[in-house]
């Protein structure tokens, strides 16, 4: 029998129902497409990438190199090296005033891994997860991948892109298992105040079956007078049903190192760690040593980068505010803007085609040399997201290209 005969008789691959329920990450797809165009020689300003453009702080990088040279390249405990656990607990206590024990820590290959594992550990078919929109693109798909049902609550620009207690109360059912709360938020940069978090916590007091997954990965990037308040600090009485997710990706420009953590009640942490033991055993030992240095050493990197992002935010807001058809709410944290583009929807391109939605608009922007991501990918139209995590010069050029593209629409 020939190889051709064997090939033709083989059954075709059939993805699982789990894979069929989800889509590839739109933000990753947009960044990949922008990278392909640039590699092909297209003159393109890429404002899609949601990661710091700075290098990892030298103290962390050198600690990683030292770990390799010292042979610290073996498996670690599932919940990480003792020194890393201590560093995480110390940071959390300094930020929130809350002391925790090591049984309340889980580690993963990035905050994304921790969130996915938490949903896998807690959801059964039909369980509902409340997700305020705009949302990070992965939340609904991670819920669906783990047999849950995402319940999307629209939080428009006029409400500051924030969930209200009334919306939360109306959405809770007997099947509600989680509320996912991203603070500061991607894609809007919205930040909940302590009072706003406490008001949401007051609603949840009457619904003890609902847990909170607080994604605080951007908590080191903020532009107000004080740092964002952790849900753990604002609603301490919900400690036994709250998972706080964080990591070093955004705070210390360590996206590729892949390290995130979750802090929560021991029963949940044990369940996540059981899954982790069967998935990847543990995060990279080298990354863990780099993270110890990042968390334990001086935090001047985070302070300096925050000032850079604030300057870039102001630059982009000032430029886009001059574009007829756009409305921009200045972000309060993270490194994104989420302009409202309602004034450009329905206009005609130079070729006569109509801009019917925000996807059409970002495709047109792409043709004019600037890459962004459409608001529908984040659950709210008509908007688009752009990242300010790029150089001042590229950001200014990207905003200029957006303005020039908008001026071509009639």
Tell me: do 78 and 45 sit in the same domain.
no
Tell me: do 208 and 332 sit in the same domain.
no
Using one digit for the tens of pLDDT, what is the confidence trace for 17-39?
888 887 777 777 777 877 787 78
How far, in Å, CA of 64 to CA of 81, rounded?
A: 14
Tell me: do 246 and 173 sit in the same domain.
yes
In CATH, what number is assigned to the domain containing residue 93?
3.40.640.10
Q: Which domain holds residue 336?
A: 23-52+301-407
Distance set, CA 62 to CA 51, 256, 294 (Å): 21, 15, 10
Could you tell me what percent of the chain has a pLDDT over 90?
A: 88
Using one digit for the tens of pLDDT, what is the confidence trace for 229-288?
999 999 999 999 999 999 999 999 999 999 999 999 999 999 999 999 999 999 999 999
Q: Is the pTM of this model over 0.85?
A: yes
Predicted local distance difference test score (pLDDT) of residue 327: 97
Handedness of CA 119, 52, 340, 230 (dihedral sign): positive
Question: Closest Cα to residue 26, out of 130, 136, 152, 181?
Answer: 136
Using one digit for the tens of pLDDT, what is the confidence trace for 295-306?
998 889 999 999
- 1 pLDDT more than 70: no
State mean pLDDT over 7-17: 77
Using one digit for the tens of pLDDT, what is the confidence trace for 90-132?
999 999 999 999 999 999 999 999 999 999 999 999 999 999 9
Tell me: do 292 and 326 sit in the same domain.
no
Predicted local distance difference test score (pLDDT) of residue 5: 57
Comparing 2 with 109, which gets the higher pLDDT? 109
CB burial of residue 214 (10 Å; 0-12, 13-18, 19+): buried
Predicted local distance difference test score (pLDDT) of residue 34: 77
Distance of CA 371 to the CA centre of its chain: 19
Give 3's pLDDT tier (boundaries 50, 70, 90): low
358-367 and 392-407 are packed helices; what angle lies between their axes, rounded to 10 degrees?
110
Tell me: do 125 and 219 sit in the same domain.
yes
- In 74-190, DSSP assigns E strands to 105-108, 128-133, 149-154, 176-182
Contact 213, 243 (CB under 8 A): yes
Asked whether residue 396 is domain-assigned, the answer is yes
Asked whether residue 343 is domain-assigned, the answer is yes
Using one digit for the tens of pLDDT, what is the confidence trace for 25-78?
777 777 787 778 778 888 899 999 889 999 999 999 999 999 999 999 999 999
Domain end marker among 276, 296, 316: 296
- 2 pLDDT more than 70: no
Asked whether residue 148 is domain-assigned, the answer is yes
Asked whether residue 341 is domain-assigned, the answer is yes
Domain end marker among 296, 318, 349: 296
Q: How many CB atoms neighbour CB 151 within 10 A?
A: 19
Give me the number of domains the chain comprises: 2
Asked whether residue 197 is domain-assigned, the answer is yes
Give 4's pLDDT tier (boundaries 50, 70, 90): low
b/e per residue, 312-323, with b = 16+ CB within 10 A?
Answer: bbeebbebbeeb
């Amino acid at each position: 029998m020939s190889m051709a005969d064997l090939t033709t008789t083989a059954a075709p691959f059939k993805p699982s129902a789990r894979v069929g329920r989800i889509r590839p990450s739109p933000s990753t797809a947009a960044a990949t497409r922008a990278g392909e165009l640039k590699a092909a020689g297209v003159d393109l300003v890429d404002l899609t990438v949601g990661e710091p453009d700075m290098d990892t702080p030298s103290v962390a990088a050198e600690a990683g190199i030292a770990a390799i040279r010292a042979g610290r390249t073996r498996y670690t405990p599932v919940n990480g090296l003792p020194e890393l656990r201590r560093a995480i607990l110390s940071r959390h206590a300094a930020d929130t005033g809350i002391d925790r024990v090591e049984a309340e820590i889980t580690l993963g290959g990035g905050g994304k891994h921790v969130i996915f594992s938490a949903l896998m550990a807690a959801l059964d078919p039909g369980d509902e997860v409340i997700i305020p929109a705009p949302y990070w693109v992965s939340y609904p798909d991670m819920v669906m991948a783990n047999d849950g049902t995402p319940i999307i609550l629209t939080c428009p620009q006029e409400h500051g892109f924030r969930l209200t207690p009334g919306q939360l109360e109306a959405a809770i059912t007997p099947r509600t298992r989680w509320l996912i709360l991203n603070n500061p938020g991607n894609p809007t940069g919205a930040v909940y105040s302590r009072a706003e978090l406490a008001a949401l916590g007051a609603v949840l007091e009457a619904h003890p079956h609902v847990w909170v997954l607080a994604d605080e990965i951007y908590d080191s990037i903020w532009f107000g007078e004080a740092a964002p308040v952790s849900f753990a600090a604002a609603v301490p009485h919900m400690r036994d049903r709250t998972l706080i997710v964080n990591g070093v990706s955004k705070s210390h420009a360590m996206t590729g190192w892949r390290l995130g953590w979750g802090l929560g009640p021991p029963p949940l942490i044990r369940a996540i760690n059981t899954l982790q033991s069967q998935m990847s055993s543990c995060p990279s030992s080298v990354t863990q040593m780099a993270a110890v240095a990042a968390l334990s050493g001086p935090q001047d990197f985070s302070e300096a980068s925050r000032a850079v992002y604030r300057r870039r935010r102001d630059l982009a807001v000032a430029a886009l505010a001059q574009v007829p058809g756009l409305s921009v709410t200045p972000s309060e944290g993270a490194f994104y803007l989420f302009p409202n583009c309602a004034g450009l929807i329905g206009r005609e391109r130079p070729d006569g085609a109509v801009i019917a939605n925000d996807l059409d608009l970002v495709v047109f922007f792409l043709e004019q040399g600037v890459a962004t991501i459409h608001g529908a990918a984040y659950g709210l139209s008509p908007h688009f997201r752009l990242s300010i995590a790029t150089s001042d010069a590229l950001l200014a050029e990207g905003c200029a290209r957006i303005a020039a593209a908008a001026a071509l629409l009639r």
